[in-house]
Homo-oligomer: A and B are copies of this chain.
């Protein structure tokens, strides 16, 4: 059901986007043939993982969304991402990359170490599109798009930027790799994962209704 080529990647795309249009999915899945996307969506619909929703008359676009059965795949997708993260280091530069792919793993990897402080916003500029971290109340929410008035901005190539965020690389060292940071250093420290955060078996089930959060890493096919 989810073992065919592209299928789990389509699920991941829907997990981090929520309901999406056909062309959104196409953009998030660089390299997929359009007939395959159509075919996979049909199969996923038939097996009850995805539901297609013809939008209301004023809007002219159909939406694809995960059913509860589809959302139940989230922990699996997250674990696969975590398992595969070490392989990212060897991934060729030519691999496709979309910044929103970071949303799922970052949401689980980053923490809010000072939940009592007022919330802050950090903007990430990397890849094709900015990413916004909303930090506060002990949680970090990641969403695609630019922040309106960010408290800090971190920009640079994906790899070193990620290394800085996870604390594996100091800002000073990362500057040589093109990473720039504009803001209070304390804000970075607030969200960086502790040493356990990077360990293999860490799990931080916070709220009872917690969803949309992940460990680390992301993966993609050749191109």
Interface residues on A, range: 10 to 19
Which of B47, B75, B84, B221 has a CB less than 8 Å from the CB of A79? B75
Q: Which residues of B contact A177 (CB under 8 A)?
A: none
Inter-chain contact A1/B76, CB cutoff 8 Å: no
* A96 shortest CB reach to chain B, Å: 15
Inter-chain contact A84/B200, CB cutoff 8 Å: no
Q: How far is the CA of A2 from the CA of B101 in the complex (A)?
A: 19
Q: How far is the CA of A72 from the CA of B84 in the complex (A)?
A: 10
Inter-chain contact A221/B3, CB cutoff 8 Å: yes
Q: Oligomeric state, in number of copies?
A: 2
A32 within 8 A of B: no
Inter-chain contact B200/A87, CB cutoff 8 Å: no
Chain A 57-94, CB-CB to B under 8 Å as 1, else 0, gives: 00000000000010011011001100110110000000
Say whether, besides A3-B221, A221-B3, A83 and B87 are in contact (CB < 8 Å): no
Inter-chain contact B72/A76, CB cutoff 8 Å: no
Inter-chain contact B72/A200, CB cutoff 8 Å: yes
Q: How far is the CA of A1 from the CA of B81 in the complex (A)?
A: 11
Q: How far is the CA of A200 from the CA of B76 in the complex (A)?
A: 13
**Nearest opposing residue in chain B for A84, CB measure:** B1
* A87 shortest CB reach to chain B, Å: 6
Chain A 183-223, CB-CB to B under 8 Å as 1, else 0, gives: 00000000000000000100000000000000000000100
Q: How far is the CA of A221 from the CA of B4 in the complex (A)?
A: 10
Query: What 4 pairs between A and B have smallest CB-CB spacing?
Result: A76-B79, A1-B87, A72-B83, A76-B80
